[in-house]
Chains A and B, each alone.
Chain A
Amino acid sequence: MRIEMKGISKAFGQNRVLEGVNFTVNSGEVHALMGENGAGKSTLMNIFTGLYAKDGGTITIDGQEAHFSGPLDAEQHGISFIHQEMNNFLEMPVVDNMFLNKELHTKLGTLDDKKMRAQATHYLQELGADIDVTQPIGTLSVGRQQMIEIAKSLMTDAKIIIMDEPTAALTETEIKNLFDVVNRLKAKGVGFIYISHRMEEIFEIADKVTVMRDGVSVAEYDTKDVSMKQLVKDMVGREIGDFYPERHPEFGPVALKAEHLSEKGVFEDVSFSVREGEILAFSGLMGAGRTEIMRAIFGIDHLDSGTVEIDGKPVHIHTPADAIKAQIGFATENRKDEGLFLNDSLHDNIVLPSINGFVKHGLVDDKATNQFVEMLMKRLTVKAMGPDVTAGSLSGGNQQKVVLAKWVGSGAKVLILDEPTRGVDVGAKREIYDLMNELTARHVAIIMISSDLPEVLGMSDRIAVVYEGHITGIVPTEGATQESIMTLATGGNTNAN
């Protein structure tokens, strides 16, 4: 089986996410799909499996044009998509999850539990997984749940299996186990589309690799013929050096000082400080506790112990409203769920944290808020038809600018930015970096959480590295390398510097 996607394009509103993407996968090979967040990988796969309609281009299976009406249709054609977030019903037994919507029946029309159990067990054993199929799926590890997903794909007779970041939550042993299974199935003629950020994995498991950037497929290689360096260059699109604006920081006094912060079971004894005009990056692996520390400082979650000082004075923050009063702003990682009101206008989004300042004789001064919003949209170069369009209609980069606008507008002196450029296209990224420089030039202190190491190295003055709820080191950015940060982030020797 050979599936060929040619010239695929797609736009959401005015936001063009795919432009002429080519991608081919054959039975019996593993084809990796790489690219930064927002490069269009997921959109491409969702078009492939029929979840989204494409605006242009063709998809052919063995030379014949194919058109899937939806995931179920794709599945019937032997294409199976294992999502990063597995949609299991955690309380339901393994077997019920596997046969959901595909239940087997006896001649009487009742469910044939015996047969379903036998089949489920059979498919799992074929993958070398010995799992009791009657236990609730939620009691199993993520690695085992993934095996169940693969077994499910095989049950539907999948010829091509798409895996989206399958190892993100797996342990080393589980990853090895997964790769064994992939290799075994590959030998049996199953093809894989393997989406991942992890370089080492690509070179270990993939036969071919396609790199996407900004909605375009920029290159396809046989993995054995390409270097890691080349792939990074393709993904980023330019030498990292000139991608980040230069920083000329001038530090003022300490703006925020955190001492011995602890939240039981989440982080412990976290101490750091950030000065006016400084960008302090928080680096670390996913789940290390970086976001949680900031949520607690901002009053969304609650500290069990520790103190926070702003401008040398202790502050007691119990709710975000307290934090805003202390002139802290928090642009959360999750724009859509925590940062924006997607159905509301840009005006209402931007004005909300500052709304109490616009009340005159009990009423909101609309003239003043309009001016305020207009000024901020201009200053942050938000590209939109006007302040009345809904936040949901904007591209990721512009949505992020709206989130930043509301905190800049709130007059925050300490600004916490959690993954400020995730899902943001390259051009808007640079604008956000420029804005960060402009803010620090005006004595704002920035705490930037980022999983993007080049961004951390390119845009910060110091780097705090978090590993399993502890700060394993705070190092000056000058002289730090990806390797030295990674060592700290994985709990390595803290005396490296």
Chain B
Amino acid sequence: MQTKEATKKGFDFKAMLGKLGPLLALIVLIILVTVLSPGFMAPANLLNLLRQVSINAVIAFGMTFVILTGGIDLSVGSILALSGAVTASMIANGVSPAIALLGGMLLGAVFGLLNGILIAYGKAAPFIATLATMTIFRGATYVFTNGNPITGAKINDSFLFQFMGRGYLFGIPFPIIIMAVVYVILFVLLHKTAFGRKTYALGGNETAAYIAGVKTKLVTMIIYTISGLMASIAGIILTSRLSSAQPDAGTSYEMDAIAAVVLGGTSLAGGKGRIFGTLIGALIIGTLNNGMNLLGISSFYQQIVKGVVILIAVLLDRKK
């Protein structure tokens, strides 16, 4: 009897560790960085950290849906660059900033939809389809910008556009507020709506989902559309922060987003994971970057450390 009870307790503990693992890792990391570099806990630094995290987090929230279906979206970095460039160019050419922002977001959604169509109807493997569109969208960005950054007085003078990346609301940088709003909306979508249930079902067993009446193609297309839309929102934040659209903006951002999702405990095989985990995953990456910068660790070593952390997380996940 006693042994039975013991194993049962061990079981619960394990399950809890699985759920709270990423959060625990983040807490340990924060304690470690605080001890090594007391300046970390300064409010200004924390806000700065969150602002740095916001771009990756917004992309990763969208990526969470994609990965939950067992897919992947490699094109987010390129969508970010292209929609950012188009938005900036519209403003530079005198289009009303509000319309330019909506236009950029619409463009990102359309690019995402295109990925979704290729995957749902073209039956292309998500990796290959988005690898191809990643290259296409990046190429299109270079064509569109002629390889030069897009800048201009109108960009610098637009309050609305500048506010996206540089503004403050109640003393909080606006990108953080965008991240929070996006998080709440997507959290509700994933965990409180029928669409969310269908997302999990699609990733858990596509055939069974189809037979249960889930319109799997429609769900797939919507999910890639969300991912594209999130990339364009990130693109707007980034372009606004830099006050210019860089043709090579967002290069390899897809990797940071995937890393955040995986660090958050979402299974690449699909069907298992939570958007809260992704938020934690993004914060882990952000804390690592910020902490190592504070400690003056060279960016060369930073990459190695980040890679090792991801490896450890994945290996621990296997153990469960």
Contacts and interface: CB of A to CB of B under 8 A. Distances in A.
Given A320-B212, A321-B213, A353-B213, A358 B204 contact: no
B198 to A, nearest CB: 7
Contacts of A330: 211
A363 B193 CA distance: 5
Interface stretch (A334-342, A439-447, A471-479): A334-342
A55 interface: no
A319 B214 CA distance: 9
Interface in A242-289: none
Contact of A338 (B192, B197, B208, B272): B208
B197 A339 contact: no
A327 to B, nearest CB: 12
Interface stretch (A114-122, A306-314, A344-352, A429-437): A344-352
Contact of B210 (A300, A356, A364): A300
A364 B211 contact: no
Interface string A370-414: 000000000000000000000000000000000000100010000
Contact of B197 (A319, A324, A364): A364
Contacts of A344: 200-201, 204, 271
A359 interface: yes
A324 B212 CA distance: 8
A323 to B, nearest CB: 8
Chain B interface bracket (under 10, 10 to 19, 20 to 34, 35 or more):
20 to 34
Contacts of A406: 212
Contacts of B272: 343
Interface in A294-329: 298, 300, 319-321, 323-325
A72 interface: no
A356 B192 CA distance: 12
A338 B207 CA distance: 5
A177 B213 CA distance: 47
Contacts of B192: 363-364
Nearest to B202: A341
Given A337-B208, A340-B208, A363-B188, A351 B213 contact: no
Contacts of B196: 364
B194 A339 contact: no
A364 B197 CA distance: 9
Contacts of A342: 204-205
A187 interface: no
A297 to B, nearest CB: 13
A417 to B, nearest CB: 13
A364 B194 contact: yes
B215 interface: yes
**Which of A338, A353, A355, A358 is packed against the most chain B CB atoms within 10 Å?**
A355
**Which of A342, A348, A364, A410 is packed against the most chain B CB atoms within 10 Å?**
A364
B30 interface: no
Nearest to A324: B213
B294 to A, nearest CB: 40
A298 B211 contact: yes
B194 to A, nearest CB: 5
Contact of B193 (A320, A348, A351, A359): A359
B215 A343 contact: no
Interface string B176-202: 000000000000100011101110110
Contacts of A341: 200-201, 204-205, 208-209, 271
A359 B214 CA distance: 15
A353 B209 CA distance: 9
Nearest to A366: B192
A358 B139 CA distance: 45
A13 interface: no
A22 interface: no
Nearest to A407: B212
Given A320-B211, A320-B213, A337-B208, A352 B201 contact: yes
A362 interface: yes
B207 A337 contact: yes
Given A337-B207, A337-B208, A338-B207, A348 B213 contact: no
A210 interface: no
Nearest to B218: A321
A332 interface: yes
Contacts of A359: 193-194
Contacts of A323: 213
B193 A352 contact: no
Contacts of B205: 337-338, 340-342
B193 A364 contact: yes
B200 A348 contact: yes
Contacts of B208: 337-341
A352 B214 contact: yes
B187 to A, nearest CB: 12
Contacts of A300: 210-211
B215 A352 contact: no
A355 B204 contact: no
B209 A352 contact: yes
Contacts of B214: 321, 352
Nearest to B188: A363
A352 B199 CA distance: 11
A286 B188 CA distance: 46
B100 to A, nearest CB: 30
A323 B214 CA distance: 11
Contacts of B193: 359, 362-364
Nearest to A330: B211
B211 A332 contact: yes
B161 to A, nearest CB: 31
Contacts of A410: 213
Interface of A: 298, 300, 319-321, 323-325, 330, 332, 337-344, 348, 351-353, 355-356, 358-359, 362-364, 406, 410
Given A319-B213, A324-B213, A352-B198, 4 more contacts: A300-B210, A320-B210, A339-B208, A352-B201
The 3 A-B pairs with the shortest beta carbon distances in the complex, nearest first, are: A341-B204, A324-B213, A321-B213
18 contacts: A319-B210, A320-B212, A320-B213, A321-B215, A325-B213, A338-B205, A341-B200, A341-B271, A343-B272, A344-B200, A348-B197, A351-B197, A352-B197, A352-B198, A352-B209, A352-B212, A353-B213, A410-B213
